[in-house]
Amino acid sequence: MSTTTPQSTTPAAVPPPAKSPKDAQKDFAMVRQKELIQAHFEKLRHARQNGQKVVYTFVPGNLVELLLSFDLVPAYPEIHALQAGMRQASDKYIREAERIGHSEDVCSYVKSDVGMGLAGDIGVDGTKIPPPDLLLLSSTGCATFFKWFENLRRQHNAESVMLQVPYIADGSTPTKEHIDYVVRQLKEDVIPVLERVSGKKFDEARLAKLLEKSAVAEDYLVKTLELGKRTPSPIDAYFGAVYYVGPIFTSYRGTQEAVDYYKGLYEETLARAEAGLGPVTPDGPLKKERFRLVVEGTPCWTSFRDIWRMFANEGAVVVASTYSKVGGLYDQGFRHDPKRPLETLAEYCMGCYTNISLPARLDLLAKYGKDYDADGFVVHSVKSCKAFGAGQVLLLRELEKRTGKPACFLESDLVDSRYFSAAHFKNRLESYLQAVDLRRKS
């Protein structure tokens, strides 16, 4: 992996936005994030030649520090699927999956992944994704993962192990019984398999050192996200945060690269805040913040940049979002604890956003609306994602009742472009923001 350290910034020196090949402007942290993710993909591609074993797992509730303690290389099928969506390649994979019998109602992440498998496990950049030596499932809040896991097991004829994670139906805090149940599985089921696959014995001291770095990176991420409480907000906590959370939600948590990255992200964002600047958008720094919004739900990856522009053109900044917590509710106080290695892994798995109850989600959204001085809420419902989609209409209605702030319901899909209409989406967003503006004036 790359070990380049992000350059520090100061309030007097904000790095100029960088441009991608398609002229979308990015801040330094976005560029650095892309370098880190590419470095991990390079490591993944050469794992076989370097004698390393590959473990397929999922983002919510992942055990990346545990995998890294065994020198195993993680791979994330939903990351491959969303990257295919962002590169406009997912539609052809989805059609292939439907051609062999997968229903239109199946999660488009899964169908995109199936289509990539039918194409020979070729990634979106044309290179082959290595098959798994092990499939590790943490069943965190998404029932689709079970069937996706079964499909991967048939496709690759690979060994699998599952960590059964209790759903926190009562609030958002796991009980001692919940924690003990998960820790027992880690000791009796997961770690013995990892030892056998890797050929290495479990080293709790090494795991603790990785967890210590995780906690430092998590501190910097939270400090960055909380800068969104300032006016104007120097960060977009939905569109921008998609870039920022990538390293810590996937393969870099527990590494010095993560600590360096999130320290650099905080310094860069603080510099913008001290300079009174808004977030960077695809067309450059936002000139004027007109609306402060909280967004619930996952992005539409096939039209991600177009939707971001719709918000930015209206001066709408997302000051807090739930999707940026799908890999951990760090802003609610959780940190990986190196003094309790297995217990803290159990708590992390159970504390991800999709694994907490609807009342707890409602409380969190209402808190964001107050803490970040938001003008309203946008609930983005995607057809494919039941983990987010279940109960979203109820959330919208209850948020309006509880907070008195207006809410908007938008619809599309994860990576299936058939379910996105730019004109319809834009019209509903603009109508909602006009209503917000009229309410403020009255």
**Each residue's pLDDT tens digit, 118-128:** 888 776 666 78
Letter string b/e over residues 131-160, b meaning 16 or more CB atoms within 10 A of that residue's CB = bbbbbbbbbbbbebbeebbebbbeebebeb
**CB 73 within 8 Å of CB 200:** no
Query: Which range of residues forms the domain containing residue 134?
Result: 18-441
What is the average pLDDT across 175-203? 97
Which candidate, 199, 145, 194, places its Cα nearest to that of 352? 145
104, part of any domain = yes
Q: Please, what's the b/e burial string for 44-58 (b: 16 or more CB within 10 A of its CB; e: otherwise)? A: bbebeeeebbbbbbb
Q: How many domains does the chain have?
A: 1
> What is the rounded distance in angstroms from the CA atom of residue 142 to the CA atom of residue 161?
17
Type of residue at 323: Y
Average pLDDT over residues 48-63: 93
Residue 159 has pLDDT above 80, yes or no: yes
The answer to whether residue 13 is domain-embedded is no
Residue 2 lies in a domain: no
CA dist 135 and 145 (Å) reads 12
Under a CB-based contact definition with an 8 Å cutoff, are residues 64 and 240 in contact?
no
Residue 6 in any domain: the answer is no
Tell me whether the omega of the peptide bond preceding residue 232 falls within 30 degrees of 0, making it cis: yes
- Residue at 49 is within a domain: yes
- Per-residue pLDDT band at 319 (split at 50, 70, 90): very high
Of 228-242, 250-264, 279-293, 380-394, the poorest mean pLDDT is in 380-394
Average confidence (pLDDT) over 367-381:
97
Mean pLDDT of 293-298: 96
In a domain, 9, yes or no: no
Beta bridge partners of 26: 18
Q: What is the mean pLDDT of residues 84-112?
A: 92
- Mean pLDDT, the chain, rounded, equals 91
Please name the residues in contact with 118: beta carbons below 8 A apart, sequence gap of 6 or more.
93, 96, 97, 100
Tokens of 433: 């923001």
Largest CA distance in the chain: 68
* 365-384: average pLDDT: 96
Nearest to 325 by CA among 259, 408, 388, 233: 388
pLDDT score, position 22: 52
What burial class does residue 296 get, using C-beta atoms within 10 Å of its C-beta: 0-12 exposed, 13-18 middle, 19+ buried? Answer: buried
Q: 354 in a domain, yes or no?
A: yes
Best-predicted range by mean pLDDT (15-19, 80-84, 298-302):
298-302
In-domain check, residue 255: yes
Where is pLDDT greater, at 18 or 156?
156
Q: Tell me the whole-structure pTM to 2 decimals.
A: 0.92
Is residue 415 within 8 Å of residue 90, measured between CB atoms? Answer: yes
Q: Work out the pLDDT band at 27, boundaries 50, 70, 90.
A: confident
Q: How confident is the model at residue 1 (pLDDT cuts 50, 70, 90)?
A: very low
The predicted pLDDT at position 140 comes to: 82
Q: Supply the DSSP string of 262-287, one letter for each residue.
A: HHHHHHHHHHHHHTT---EETTEE-S
